[in-house]
Structures are given as C-alpha cells and as structure tokens.
Amino acid sequence: MTVTNRIWSICILSVCAITSCGQTDVPTVNIGKAISQTDTLGIESIATRIDTLTFHSDSLYDIKLFGITDERIFGLTANDIIVIMDRNGQVVNTVKRLGRGPGEFANLGSIEYDPYNDEILMLDLWNKVIRLDSDGNFIDEIRNQHTSSIGDISALGKDRYAATGMSDKNRKYSITIMDRDINPVSEMFPLQNDAQRSNQGIIALEYMQTFNSKLLYKPFGEFTYYELSDSLYTPYLTVDCGKYTLPTEMNVKVGDSMDKKNNFQIDIELICGKYYFVQYLYEKGMCWFYDIFDVSTGKRVSHFRYGMEEYEAGIDEGFILRYGGERYGILPQYVKDNVLYWSRFNEGGTTTLFMISL
C-alpha cells in the first residue's frame, strides 16, 4: 500500500492538452445505474488466475503491501514496521523507524516502492522525505523549505518526483514536479472547482496512485483521473454518479450529513488492468456498495450491497471473492498492472497473500 498520503508555460501546455483531448474521448463508467440490483458474481468471475502465499512471520501482524518486484515484497505492519520479504514469503529484513532522528518518521504520510531507483520512498508529514534502499538500509533524508508543504509524493522517473500540496488557507492546488533533491522544477495546475474553493471545511491533502504503470491523480471534488508526466496531465478515466452526484462544494463541508444522504460518497477507488473498482456510501439506503466495472466497455460486472442485514449476519464487508470453497469480503491493498493483492491475517500469526490476476 500503499500509504501514498497531496511554470506558467507548463500550465498553459497542460490546459491545452486537456482541451485538445476532449472529455468525450475519455472512458467513462456510470455507477448510478440500477443500484437496487445486487449481483452474486465476485472477483472470481473476472479473474484469470488466483495464487496465494503464506508469510510465516513471528511478532509481525496485519502486513499491508506497498510494493512488489521480481525479487522482493514490501509491506507495512499495523504498527508501522517495514517488512521486506523474498518472493517465497520469507522475511529478509524488518525496519522500525518511528522517531525523529535521521531516517526516522513521526507521522508517515505515504510510503511506496520507487521502481526507477530501486528504493523505498517515504513522506513524513512532520516535513521530510526519507529514502531507503530495497533492503531497508538508510540512504538519506531531505528536509528543506519545500518538504513541509508536500501532501503526497511519487516517483515519475530516475530523477523526477510528482508531489501534491498540503491544502490550507491559501487553497493552492497544483502538482509540483521535483528533482532528486526535492526542489521544484515546474508546476501543473489542475482544474479549480467549487470543492477546492470552498471555505466550509479544510482539505488536508490529496493523493496520487499508480495503476497500470501510470501515475494517476484525481483533483479533489472532481470525477476524472488524469495521467501525469513531467510536463502534462491528460484525462484517463471519468466516473459518472448520475443523479447521485455529490456537488463538488459539499466534499469539504464538515457535518450536516443530511445534506449528503441522497448522494454517493466515494471512499475507495482503484484500477487493475481493464477494471475499475469502487466502494461508495449511500446514506439514504444505509449501505455501502462495492462495484467492479470493465473500463473498456463501461459495463458493470459486479455490484454488491452491504447494509445492516449483511452486518448483522456477520458477512464480511468488501468486494466479493470466492476461492477454495470460502467467501471473502476483501479490500484490496495493492495493485500492480493487472494483478490485485490482498493480505489476510490468520490465527496463529501467519498472513496469507492473495495474488489475483485479472
């Protein structure tokens, strides 16, 4: 998991790129249709292969992945211990870096594997960026006048990072391109919308996510994902909630949930291969929905309603997965191209990693 935690000429070029691309050319999924129906199909219906791997790790629990390579698996435990394993699930190293010393973090905003430099990249929201090698050894940390305003940071290349900003009173929303030393190189200004301009609440930070080897960003209050490069951001996927669309200015409003009860509030989104996964709350129906869409056709392939009846019956919350005669409710933790990863902590201290190819 990822934690992953927010030049005027470039700005003009970016806007032109978005305009020329045209929203009509962007794949769209509509999550507002036929919500009263509930499918019995789960992820197994679209999976081409499901593999499992068991971690035998004493004193390590609830490991969530944030990176995977041909040789290494990177995870973070519930108590912020970095776990580095080989592809057989054997622990190579564990790293506990809570603190305020060199290479230590006090408030982990995001953590990810940087494939361009074979490093672990961490953002401490107390205002520094930390780098470890793939074995967990400390490389360096950077603390300067810019690191305190970063909301999220991700690798774009060998010597390029993309960073979102920490939102505060100035309401400045931009993607900042940074060099290896975390110094700004240029800025791209995303769409400005009512949610970003609102004074009804505070947006803490905005995240980026890597799907299908593409770094994607969705501006707060917007419904389109954009693919980032070091000079452009271009539309990638639009999510349409239909009549259940939450007005953008309501995204930041604190309290008054009655104003939102007839709208969808999207909580979790991910893209794996050609599939879009979304978890969203519908307060009027007193339930969560877990949907999977085929982006190439716009067709919904799975739709699960989780309400009070399911809760009282002890049914697991999450996207449905049937495997080995069991039914699971899963919340995916990591995605790499067309493979979705989910880990399940077992009694006895072991963790089972599900690797689902779509």
Query: How confident is the model over 218-241, as pLDDT tens digits?
Result: 988 888 999 998 888 999 999 999
Write the single-letter amino acid at 236. Answer: Y
Q: How confident is the model at residue 168 (pLDDT cuts 50, 70, 90)?
A: low
Share of the chain above pLDDT 90, in %: 51
Q: How many beta carbons lie within 10 A of that of residue 351, not counting itself? A: 23
Tokens of 86: 């080989």
Reply yes or no on whether the pLDDT at 283 is more than 80.
yes
Residue 262: inside a domain: yes
| Residue 64, domain member (yes or no) | yes
| Contact of 118 with 131, CB cutoff 8 Å | no
What's the confidence (pLDDT) of residue 287? 92
Among residues 278, 170, 260, the alpha carbon closest in space to that of 223 is found at 278
Quick one: pLDDT at residue 300? 92
Nearest to 116 by CA among 87, 145, 159: 159
Residue 157 structure tokens: 């290349």
Pairing type for strands 128-133 and 214-217 reads: unpaired
pLDDT confidence band for 340 (50 / 70 / 90): very high
pLDDT at 58: 67
13 has pLDDT over 90: no
Single-letter amino acid, residue 64: K
Judged by average pLDDT, the poorest of 23-27, 232-236, 323-327 is 23-27
Q: Which domain holds residue 46?
A: 8-357
Give the pLDDT confidence score for residue 17 in this predicted structure.
Answer: 35
Structure tokens at 279: 């978890």
pLDDT at residue 202 greater than cutoff 80: no
The domain total for the chain is 1
Answer whether residue 103 shows pLDDT above 90. Answer: no
Show Cβ contacts of residue 353 under 8 Å, excluding neighbours closer than 6 positions.
Answer: 52, 53, 54, 55, 65, 73, 89, 341, 342, 343
What mean pLDDT comes out for the span 273-296?
93
24 lies in a domain? yes
**Predicted local confidence at residue 256, as pLDDT:** 62
DSSP β-bridge partners for residue 177: 162, 186
Residues in the chain, total: 358
What's the CATH number where 267 sits? 2.120.10.30
Residue 39: pLDDT over 90:
no
Neighbouring CB atoms inside 10 A of 19's CB total 9
DSSP label at residue 295: T
What residues have CB less than 8 Å from 94, skipping those under 6 apart? Answer: 60, 81, 82, 83, 84, 136
Q: DSSP assignment, residue 19?
A: H
Residue 1 domain-assigned?
no
Mean pLDDT of the chain: 84
**Do 355 and 23 contact (CB within 8 A), yes or no?**
no
- CB under 8 Å to 60, separation ≥6 — which residues? 77, 81, 83, 91, 94, 349, 351
26 in any annotated domain: yes
Q: Is residue 183, in this structure, part of any structural domain at all?
A: yes
Residue 222 included in any domain:
yes
Is 244 among the domain residues?
yes
Average pLDDT of the segment spanning 283-312: 92
Q: What band does 320 get if pLDDT is binned at 50, 70 and 90? A: very high
Mean pLDDT across 342-352: 82
24-28, 36-40, 150-154, 325-329, range with the lowest pLDDT: 36-40
Distance between CA atoms of residues 236 and 224, nearest Å: 7
The yes-or-no verdict on residue 1 having pLDDT over 50 is no
